Amino acid sequence: MPDSSDAGAPDEPLLDADTVRALERLSLVSLDAVVAGFAGQRAGRAGGTGLEFADYRPYAVGDDLRRIDWNVFVRLRELLVKLGPEEGHIEIDLLIDSSGSMGVGPQSKLRYARRVAAALGAVGLLRADAVRAWALSDGEAEPGARLDGRPMLALLEREIDRLGTGRATDLPASLHSYRGTGAAADLAVLLSDALVRPASLAQALDELASAAPSTALVHVIDGADAARPPGGAVVLRDRETGRRLELALTPSVSAAYEERFERFRSAVEGACADAGVRYVPAPTDASVLDLLSESARLAGLVRV
C-alpha cells in the first residue's frame, strides 16, 4: 500500500468512549443480533443460512443464561442453549476499500468506513470473536493483526487506523488477492462506496461471496454524492486520476443527477442480491450505532 496516512484529518477517534460504553452495555443477545444483521440469510447461488445459531445442547451449570432458548423451555420444559458456529465464536474479516474515491466528502467516506468497521469489530470482540481488518486498494489486500476477544478491544482502533491507503480502485483484484491469502473468515464484510463499473462490481461481489460462508457489503454513501448538485458552473475532479471536467449544470441536469444516483444505489443493491451478499446502506451522516441497530432490525432481528 502506498500511503499510510488517513484521507481527511481525523477529528475524532474511530471508537469514542460513548460508543464503547454503549456497546459494552448491550446484552449478548443484542450483540448476536448485530452480527447476524450483517451476516443475514445467504441467498442466490451461495445458499445456506446466516450466523444466528447452528444447533442446541442441554444447559450446563456455568452457561450464560442469555443463551437459553426460553421459547423451547415453555414448550418442552427443557433448558436448551443456542449454539453458533464454533460455540458462537466466529472469525470476522473487515475489508475496507481504501482507494482514492473513498477520501471524498466533508467527512471522508474512508474515515466513516473505518468507524463502522471499528464499531462492528468491537461487537465481535465483545462476543469473544476473532476480528481482522484489511485495507483494499490498487488490486492488493493489506491485513491488520488478528485480534481475539474482549481483551483486544483497546488495540482495535490502532490496528484499523494504521492500515494504509492507496489510489486506484480495483475491487475484483483486491478481493481475489484477499482470497489468495487463505483467510478463513466465517463473516467477511466489505466496506466500500462501490464506485466501479457494473461488471467490475459483479465480479468483486462474486469474489466476496466465495470468500466466506456469510458476506455483506456496507455501501458507504456520502450525502454530497446523493444530493442534487447546485446549478451553475462546476468543476469535477477525479480523485484517483486527477482529471478535471468543467460543466455548466442546468436545473434539469441537476435533477437528472439525483435520479441517476438513486438508480446506481439500487443497482448496487440488486448486484448484492444476485451474488448472495447482504446489502447494508451506510449514509455517512448516520450514527454508527444507529447503523448497527438498523441492520439488525431489517434482518428481522431484535432492535438494539
Q: Set out the domains of the chain in order of their start, with CATH numbers.
A: 17-52+88-221+278-298 (3.40.50.410)
State the Cα–Cα distance between residues 126 and 66, nearest whole angstrom: 14
Residues 247-253 have a mean pLDDT of 64
Which residues, at least 6 apart from 180, have a Cβ–Cβ distance to it below 8 Å? Answer: none
Contact 39, 120 (CB under 8 A): no
Report in angstroms the alpha-carbon separations of 91 from 19, 67, 83, 291.
22, 20, 15, 21
Read off the C-alpha cell for 214.
456469510
Give the confidence band of 117 by pLDDT, cuts at 50, 70, 90: very high
- Residue range 6-47, pLDDT digits in tens: 444 456 789 988 999 999 998 877 888 888 889 874 433 333
Using the Cα atoms of residue 263, residue 241, residue 205 and residue 277 in order, give the sign of their dihedral: negative
DSSP code, position 1 = -
- Average confidence score pLDDT of the chain: 81
**More confident position, 86 or 113:** 113
Give the confidence band of 303 by pLDDT, cuts at 50, 70, 90: very low
Query: What pTM value is reported for the model?
Result: 0.77
